[in-house]
Amino acid sequence: MTGRVFRGLRAAGRNWTMSLGLLLLSGVALMALTASLLFPLSPYDMIGPPLQWPGQFDGAVLGTDALGRDIAAGIFYGARISLLVGFASVACALVFGVLIGAFAGYYGGWVDTVLMRVTELFQTIPQFMLAIVVVAILGASIGNTIVALAVVSWPAIARLVRGEFMVIRQRAYVQGCIVLGMSDLRIMFVQILPNAISGVTVMSTILIATAILMESALSFLGFGDPNVITWGTMIGMGRGNLRDAWYIITIPGLALLLTALALNLVGDGLNDLLNPRLRKRKAG
Partner 1 sequence: MSMTPLLRVRDLHCSFRVNSGMIHPVRGVSFDLQRGETLALVGESGCGKTTLARALLGLQPPSAGSIQIEGNEIAGLNRVDLRRFRPQMQCVFQDPFSSLNPRKRVETLIREPLDVHQKFAPEERRRRVHLMMEKVGLPADWGRRFPHEFSGGQRQRIGIARALILQPDILICDEPVSALDVSVQAQIINLLYDLKSDLGVSYLFISHDLTLVETFADRVAMMFEGQIVETGPAREVWCNPQHAFTRRMIDAIPVPDVTRPAPPAFRLEAD
Q: What are the residues binding partner 1 (CB under 8 A)?
A: 171-173, 175-182, 184, 186, 191, 194-195, 283
Distance, CA of 44 to chain centre: 26
User: In terms of CB distance, is 120 or 184 closer to partner 1?
Assistant: 184
CB atoms within 10 A of CB 182: 15
Contacts of 220 (CB under 8 A, 6+ apart): 232, 233, 235, 236
Give the start-end residues of each E strand in 116-239. Answer: none
- Taking the complex as a whole, the smallest distance from the CB of residue 176 to partner 1 amounts, in Å, to 6
- Taking the complex as a whole, the smallest distance from the CB of residue 272 to partner 1 amounts, in Å, to 19
User: In terms of CB distance, is 139 or 176 closer to partner 1?
Assistant: 176
- Taking the complex as a whole, the smallest distance from the CB of residue 197 to partner 1 amounts, in Å, to 10
- Taking the complex as a whole, the smallest distance from the CB of residue 277 to partner 1 amounts, in Å, to 13
Count of residues making up the chain? 284
- Taking the complex as a whole, the smallest distance from the CB of residue 174 to partner 1 amounts, in Å, to 8
CB atoms within 10 A of CB 212: 28
Cα separation, 53 vs 50, in Å, equals 9
User: In terms of CB distance, is 66 or 182 closer to partner 1?
Assistant: 182
- Taking the complex as a whole, the smallest distance from the CB of residue 204 to partner 1 amounts, in Å, to 19
Specify whether the CB–CB gap between 46 and 68 falls below 8 A.
yes
- In 3-state terms, what secondary structure has residue 85? helix
What's the one-letter identity of residue 62? Answer: L
User: In terms of CB distance, is 4 or 280 closer to partner 1?
Assistant: 280
User: In terms of CB distance, is 22 or 193 closer to partner 1?
Assistant: 193
What Cα–Cα distance (Å) separates residue 26 from each residue in 39, 56, 259, 263? 19, 29, 10, 11
User: In terms of CB distance, is 141 or 195 closer to partner 1?
Assistant: 195
User: In terms of CB distance, is 124 or 170 closer to partner 1?
Assistant: 170
- Taking the complex as a whole, the smallest distance from the CB of residue 106 to partner 1 amounts, in Å, to 13
Number of helices (H) and strands (E) in the chain: give both, helices first. Answer: 11, 0
DSSP 181: T
